[in-house]
Structure 1
Amino acid sequence: MKITLIQLGKTEDSYITDGVDKYEKRLKHYINFSTITIPALKNTKNLTVDEQKKKEAELLFKHLNATDQVVLLDEKGKEFSSVQFSAHINKNMNRAVQNLVFIIGGPYGFDPKVYERANEKISLSKMTFSHQMVRLFFVEQLYRAFTILKGEPYHHE
């Protein structure tokens, strides 16, 4: 299985990029993991929120295949504990999912067509985080999930 994280806009704060890089390197020991960064839209002052979401959706769809299992990181999605999330990852591996794609949307969320395409939505918390922080939290949780699956001492319960 391959796991891909698609994110809109680049990460600007070095402390976040350093953290993301740290966990991406660690993940390589467990899974084929990659990140796709779609550049943030420019000249959005004259666009409505719906128009921005539609343009972002068009960019996202260029990176998706029909067979991808698409998971939106969405505040209204299902919540998991770290152990439950690791079991969810394991379930996808056992189902022989070829490419599990997680998507972090833009500042206004997702276009309705992206929600239609998604296979599921998950939430990292009931709290709202910046899109920059979500990147770090997600890759750390993904790393944690694999250490749980391997019985390694990273996660304490």
Structure 2
Amino acid sequence: MHYYVVAVGKAKAPYADDLAHYAKLLSRHARVDVIEVADDEEAVARRIPERAYVCALDERGRAYSSEAFARWVEDRRQGGRDVCFVIGGPFGTRVADTDQRLSLGPMTLPHQLARVVLLEQLFRAHKILAGETYHH
């Protein structure tokens, strides 16, 4: 499985270290590319891979428990398409053509922290799917 995270802006401390940590852990289960782009709708759209399942992070999107998100991940894996998550900048996600909108919960998170939470939840989902315990 291949995940793309197209994110507006460059990750900075303290988020950059956590992002690298979870990307490394997740790389044991799936390929992951974090692509940083300018806060520009065209720049975001250009970096979304063709034929990928596009999931934009959006506060109005669907929220999942970790177990339900793991099932969602498995459904995407069975679908055979790469998954591209789009994370907007401080003013939200501005991408029109998506397959789904995902919420990380009702609280507003800094967009850089949202990247870390997403990668951590993807790693957790793969641990759940493998039947392994995860307390981190």
Q: TM-score normalised to the size of structure 1?
A: 0.82
Structure-1 separation of matches of 2:49 and 2:119:
22
Contact 2:86–2:93 (8 Å) recurs in 1: no
Paired residues in the alignment total 136
Please name the residue that 1:124 is paired with.
104
Please name the residue that 2:41 is paired with.
57
Contact 1:147–1:155 (8 Å) recurs in 2: no
AA aligned to 2:12 is: E
AA aligned to 1:147 is: K
Structure-2 separation of matches of 1:3 and 1:132:
17
Please give the secondary structure, in 1, of the residue aligned with 2:47.
Answer: coil
Structure-2 separation of matches of 1:110 and 1:138:
15
Please name the residue that 1:104 is paired with.
87
Please name the residue that 2:73 is paired with.
89
1:26 to partner: Cα distance = 0.6
Rg larger in structure: 1
Please name the residue that 1:8 is paired with.
8
* Structure 2 stretches lacking a partner, 5+ long: none
Structure-2 separation of matches of 1:18 and 1:108:
24
1:155 to partner: Cα distance = 5.0
Q: TM-score normalised to the size of structure 2?
A: 0.94
Structure-2 separation of matches of 1:80 and 1:155:
18
Contact 1:148–1:155 (8 Å) recurs in 2: no
Contact 1:86–1:145 (8 Å) recurs in 2: yes
Q: CA RMSD in A?
A: 1.5
1:31 to partner: Cα distance = 0.4
Give percent identity, aligned residues only: 32
Q: Where do 4+ consecutive residues of structure 1 move more than 6 Å?
A: none
Please name the residue that 1:135 is paired with.
115
* Structure 1 stretches lacking a partner, 5+ long: 42-55
